[in-house]
Amino acid sequence: MKKLFLKKAALLLPLLAILGGCTTSEEDYIKVNMTTCSFRGLDASPVTIQVNAEPKQWKAEVSGTWIKIVEQTETTLVLNVDDNTDTEERTGEVTLTAGEAMQTIRVVQIAEHVLQSSYRTYDDYTMGAVVSPNGRYVGGFTAQWDSDVQAIVMQVNIVDLRNDKVHLLTPFSSSLYNLYDPCAITDNGDVFFHCEDGRIVMFNLSDDAVVLNDVPGAKKPWISQVGSDESGVWVGWAAGGKTVYTPVKWTNGEAKILPLPEKTFRENKDWLQGGMARGCSHDGKIVYGTTWEGLDSFLMWWDENDNVRWVSEDLHQVTRVQILDPNSQTYFDANLVSGVKGSSNSHNISPSGRWIAGMYCIEKLSENKIDIEITSCPAFYDTVNDKTYTFPEYHDACGMTVTDDGIGIIGLNAATGIITGTYMIDIENGTDLGSTTSWIMNTLGISVPADSYVQYITPDKQVVFGYDLNGQGGEAMRMWTVAPKLK
C-alpha cells in the first residue's frame, strides 16, 4: 500500500485558574481566582492568588509546613513551597476564612527529580496542533493518500505531554470527516476539528466522535478555545444569526449567543458582519473576541455576566477626515480610527482573565491626503483595573499572549504579517526580560531553535507552546512544545 504524506501548507500567525467561592451567609463571603495551584519541585516560583472577601480581614492557614505564605494583603495571597526532595508528588491545602465563609485552595508540588523537560516538534501534523489549557495534551491529525482505496485517510493524534504517550485513534476516510484544522483540546483530551464542509467534530480518547449541533438562532458552529474541564466552557462563533458571524459561548454543551457592542467600532452603525469569540479565561468567565466588520479586527471582551465592551475603550478614537481620490481629484468622507486589534489567535488572554494582549493601532491621514498611515505597537489590557499598557518602542509588534503575573509576550514585526521573534516584558514595570528562547533555557533548561516563537505558557510556567520556521518540505511553520515528563 503506497501512502503519500500530506503536509500542512500554511498556518495563520498567531492554567490552573478556576474562579470559585463559598459563602455561608449574605454578609460573609470569600472568592479566589484559583482553587488549585501547582509548583515545580525545586526553585519554585511564587504564585499570586486574587482574593475578594467580606469581611476584608480574612485569614489563611496552611495544612503543611512546606507550604509558605509569602505575602498577604487585603486582596492577594502569595504562596510558595519548600523544595520537594521526596520521590512522590505531594499535595496540601490552604484554608481561607472570612467571618463564617470558608474557601479551600489545593496545592500540588511535583517531585522534581522524576521529571525532566523535553522538546517535541509536530512535523507530521497536517495543519498544525493545539495544546490544552494546562498543558496536559497536544492534539492534531495526519492525512495520507491511500492508493489501495484511492482516498485520503485521516488519523487523529493526541499526545500526553506528561509521559510522551501518543494516542492514535482509528483512521477514517476523509469522506466521513474531511478535517481542515485543529481548533482546541481540553485537559481531558477531547479535541475539536473544523471540517472542510463547515462542521465541527470532537474526538475523545475513547475513540468516539461527536459532531456539534447547529447553534439555536444561528447555524454551523466553530470552536476557537476551551476553558478548564471544571468550567465546561467552550467559546467560538456560529455562521448566521442576526449577523454574518455570531459570537457564541458554550457551557456544558449548551450554546449561548453573546451580544455585540451596540454599534460598530469604525462607523458607529448597526452590525452586518458581526464578530467572533476567540478565547477565554480558564474558568470561562472572561471571554475575548474580534470584530469582523469590513477589514477591522478590533478586540472586544465579555465579563462574567456576558456584558460586552471594547478592549481599551479609553484608546478608542474616531476621526472624520476627507480623503483625496487621485483619479477624480475629488474628496470623500472617511473615518480613521485608533484602538486595540487582535487576530485569530486563541491565547491572547491570561489564564485568570486579568490580561488581554493585542496591538494598539493608530490611523492618520498622510500629508498628501491620499494615503492612510498606520502605526502600531504591543498593548496589554488589565480587565480588573481597566487600564492599558502600550509599548511604542516595539514598533509594528503585537502582544501575543500574557501570563497571570503580568509577563507579556510580544511578537516582533507582526504588522508585516510574519513575526520575526518573540520577547518577554514585565508589563507593569515596563522591563525588557529578553527573548523567549533565553527564558526557556534559563527556566526549563532546554535549548530551542533561535527562530522558535512562543504562543502560550501554562500557569505553572512548565509547558511552553509555540511554532518555528524550521518546517521541512516547504512548510510555513511547525508547532512545538517544551514540557516536563516522567522519566
Q: Give helix then strand counts, H and E, for the chain.
A: 1, 40
Helix or strand run (H / E) with residue 224 = strand 221-226
pLDDT higher than threshold 50 for residue 418 = yes
Q: What pLDDT was estimated at residue 109?
A: 86
Q: What pLDDT was estimated at residue 88?
A: 76
Span 364-385, average pLDDT? 96
User: In whole angstroms, what is the distance from residue 169 CA to residue 27 CA?
Assistant: 52
Output the pTM of the full model.
Answer: 0.78
Here the cell at position 458 is 501554562
Determine contact, residues 286/301, Cβ cutoff 8 Å: yes
SS3 of 26, please? coil
* Residue 470 confidence class, pLDDT cut points 50, 70, 90: low
The pLDDT tens digits of the residues spanning 288-342 come to 999 999 989 999 999 999 999 999 999 999 999 999 999 999 999 999 999 999 9
* Residue 165 confidence class, pLDDT cut points 50, 70, 90: very high
DSSP 8-state code for residue 161: T
Q: How far is the CA of 454 from the CAs of 56, 176, 407, 466, in angstroms? A: 39, 34, 13, 4
Span 389-408, average pLDDT? 96
SS3 of 113, please? helix
Span 444-454, average pLDDT? 88
Closest-CA residue to 246 (of 308, 156, 181): 308
User: CB count, 10 Å around CB of 154?
Assistant: 21
User: In whole angstroms, what is the distance from residue 222 CA to residue 234 CA?
Assistant: 10
Closest-CA residue to 152 (of 128, 126, 129, 130): 126
Q: What pLDDT was estimated at residue 215?
A: 97
User: In whole angstroms, what is the distance from residue 248 CA to residue 205 CA?
Assistant: 26
Strand ordering across the sheet containing 59-62: 36-39, 101-109, 90-98, 59-62
pLDDT higher than threshold 60 for residue 9 = no
Polymer length of the chain:
487
pLDDT above 90 as % of the chain: 76
SS3 of 452, please? strand
Here the cell at position 433 is 526580560
SS3 of 159, please? strand
Q: What pLDDT was estimated at residue 13?
A: 31
pLDDT higher than threshold 70 for residue 19 = no
The four Cα atoms 121, 122, 123, 126 give a dihedral, to 10 degrees, of: -160
SS3 of 414, please? helix
pLDDT higher than threshold 70 for residue 114 = no
Here the cell at position 171 is 483512521
The four Cα atoms 116, 122, 124, 127 give a dihedral, to 10 degrees, of: 160
pLDDT higher than threshold 80 for residue 62 = yes
pLDDT higher than threshold 70 for residue 475 = no
Span 4-31, average pLDDT? 47
Span 79-90, average pLDDT? 84
Q: What pLDDT was estimated at residue 57?
A: 92
SS3 of 444, please? helix
Span 27-42, average pLDDT? 84
Span 422-429, average pLDDT? 96
Q: What pLDDT was estimated at residue 485?
A: 72
User: In whole angstroms, what is the distance from residue 3 CA to residue 5 CA?
Assistant: 6
Cross-strand partners of 308 = 302
